[in-house]
Amino acid sequence: MATMEQPEQHPSSAAWVQWAILAVATTILAIAAGGRFLVGLVFDEMQQHFHMTHGGLGSVVSISVLMVGLGQPLVGWLVDRFSARVVAAGGLLLLGTGLIVVSQAGSGLGLVLGYGVLTGLGLATLTPTVMTPVVAAWFERRRTTALSIISAANPMGQSLVVPALALLVAATGWQDGYFLLGLLVAAVGAPLIFVLLREQRRIAPDLLRRGPALREAVDAGLPVLAVCGGYQLFGHRYVDHDGSVIPGIGVFDAETRHPGPVADRCIGDIVVETPFGEVVGFENHGGRTYLAPGQEPLGTVRLGRGNNAEDRTEGARRHNAIGTYLHGSVLPKNPALADALILAALRRRYGPSVELPPLDDAPERRAHEAALRTALARARRPA
């Protein structure tokens, strides 16, 4: 069987990545906290520039605060749907763009758009609600230390960032200061957070250390369900759009490549024809996975994108190990798949003669059929 070339694996520690992420997240939250006070430093200058009363300029500030508050539920939904990395990077772009718009605006309308709307929505994404779970996920040891550091971002922003911004504005003028800060946030902060917070990097070093044992266990019949990022790292490698490589453990003869930030994500309902019957779920991934010749997929896509939106394959199988892009409570929605994994685990532990006694799984079957009908009905709706 033709196989993909396996990358050299270096199970090095990810400690520097942990602390880099903590430093970047804390700095971003501190800048966001301090940035809320920036308008107060130049209130009189902005009032003169835009020919506004105190009440008028205060109303613009109120709009920004309102956008922060109204944006919170939307931010939570976006994090659940896309990831904290995407939302935080997008928020930094909004914040930076808003500051630049304010610096170039010549009317009150530009101020409302730049500071009231764009800056407000950007600040809504840069909160502990978004950043704290990301930092906590990277730290198993010293988690309390890490969380205490990121909790200090708000007072740090007020005590350190505000004076620094005051010096910047004093040296450059408020318009150039806003422009430079916006450029720094959008051009440096957004790409940095987008690169650092990639979820696969968090588990890759530990997974590499366990790779030989996992491959041996899979060959001995260990049941595995690897979903999305886990599935990608059970292949040989994940190649990001910038060419950087995150090595995988090679359980599946596959490689994942990210086509770039302008490419569409594979998002939506998905139905796959598999040896376990039709499997239904929800996919949400940017990477495209390509199986080597001879690598068995989990199944054939009936609805959705699957591995790469090209060859109609979805997932991969090796013995009792299954890799898939199906999120959306894939086991509760697909009782036949869940039963197969449970039976494989029991037979590996107690011998091949084990059989599962029949159960009344009518509710599970109805749930599966309902999920399938819903997915197919959505696909038939006009765009």
Domain 200-380 in this protein, CATH class: alpha beta
Task: Determine the pLDDT at residue 3.
Answer: 53
To 5 degrees, how large is the angle CA 249–CA 337–CA 289? 35
Task: Determine the pLDDT at residue 88.
Answer: 86
Question: What mean pLDDT do residues 119-141 have?
Answer: 80
Q: Which CATH number fits domain 15-197: 3.40.50.720, 1.20.1250.20, 2.102.10.10, 2.60.40.10?
A: 1.20.1250.20
Question: What mean pLDDT do residues 106-120 have?
Answer: 91
What is the edge-to-edge ordering of all strands in the sheet holding 316-318? 224-227, 321-324, 316-318
Cβ atoms of residues 331 and 337 within 8 Å:
yes
pLDDT at 189 over 90: no
Residue 200: which pLDDT band, with cuts at 50, 70 and 90? low
**Could you confirm whether 49 is annotated as catalytic?**
no
Pick from 194, 203, 230: which is nearest to 321 by CA?
Answer: 230
Residue 232: which pLDDT band, with cuts at 50, 70 and 90? very high
Pick from 354, 355, 356, 352: which is nearest to 221 by CA?
Answer: 352
Do 200-380 and 15-197 fall under one CATH topology?
Answer: no
Structural domain boundaries in the chain: 15-197, 200-380
Cβ atoms of residues 192 and 17 within 8 Å:
no
What is the edge-to-edge ordering of all strands in the sheet holding 288-291? 245-247, 237-239, 254-257, 288-291
Q: Which of 228, 236, 266, 368 is catalytic?
A: 228
Task: Determine the pLDDT at residue 1.
Answer: 39
**Could you confirm whether 228 is annotated as catalytic?**
yes
pLDDT at 197 over 80: no
CA distance 175 to 39: 11
Task: Determine the pLDDT at residue 160.
Answer: 85
Pick from 92, 120, 98: which is nearest to 110 by CA?
Answer: 98
Residue 224: which pLDDT band, with cuts at 50, 70 and 90? very high
Q: Which of 54, 285, 327, 368 is catalytic?
A: 327
Tokens of 329: 């409570």
Structure pTM? 0.61
